[in-house]
């Protein structure tokens, strides 16, 4: 078996792996060194785009605004919709469960 030495690739992989870590080794709010306290997209049941598409289909309306909000440790998507009748209303979708409030 032949092992190839590629220092440029190794440096790029190392730099990418360390990109989100604090340079001074400070602890994040959750007490873990270098760990990102934000929830990753993979930990969410659906993305903001998916939540918007679901809300538009469910309510037969068009989204005019969508944003991500934090409520404690929960991530909630707030989606403002414009109905066919001209009525503007808002729905809230829990990012972790996909449940609409």
Q: Are 76 and 91 contacting, i.e. CB atoms less than 8 angstroms apart?
A: no
Is the model's pTM score more than 0.85? no
- Tell whether the model's pLDDT for residue 82 goes beyond 90: yes
Q: For position 44, what pLDDT does the model report?
A: 78
**What ranges do the domains of the chain cover?**
1-37, 44-101
Each residue of 30-70: pLDDT tens digit? 444 444 445 555 567 899 999 999 999 999 999 999 999 99
Each residue of 15-25: pLDDT tens digit? 444 444 444 44
* Mean per-residue pLDDT, 4-31: 44
- Rg over alpha carbons for the chain, rounded to the nearest Å, is 20
Q: Are strands 88-94 and 74-83 parallel, antiparallel or unpaired?
A: antiparallel
Write out the CATH class of domain 44-101. Answer: alpha beta
H or E stretch at 65: strand 61-71
- Tell whether the model's pLDDT for residue 4 goes beyond 70: no
Q: For position 45, what pLDDT does the model report?
A: 85
């Amino acid at each position: 078996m032949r092992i190839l030495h590629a220092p440029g690739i190794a440096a790029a992989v190392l730099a990418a792996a360390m990109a989100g870590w604090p340079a001074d080794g400070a602890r994040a709010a959750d007490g873990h060194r270098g760990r990102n306290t934000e929830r990753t997209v993979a930990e969410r049941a659906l993305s903001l785009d998916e939540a918007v598409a679901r809300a538009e289909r469910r309510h037969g309306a068009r989204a005019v605004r969508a944003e991500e909000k934090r409520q404690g440790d929960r991530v909630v998507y707030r989606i403002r919709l414009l109905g066919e009748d001209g009525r503007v209303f808002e729905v809230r979708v829990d990012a972790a469960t996909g449940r609409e409030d």
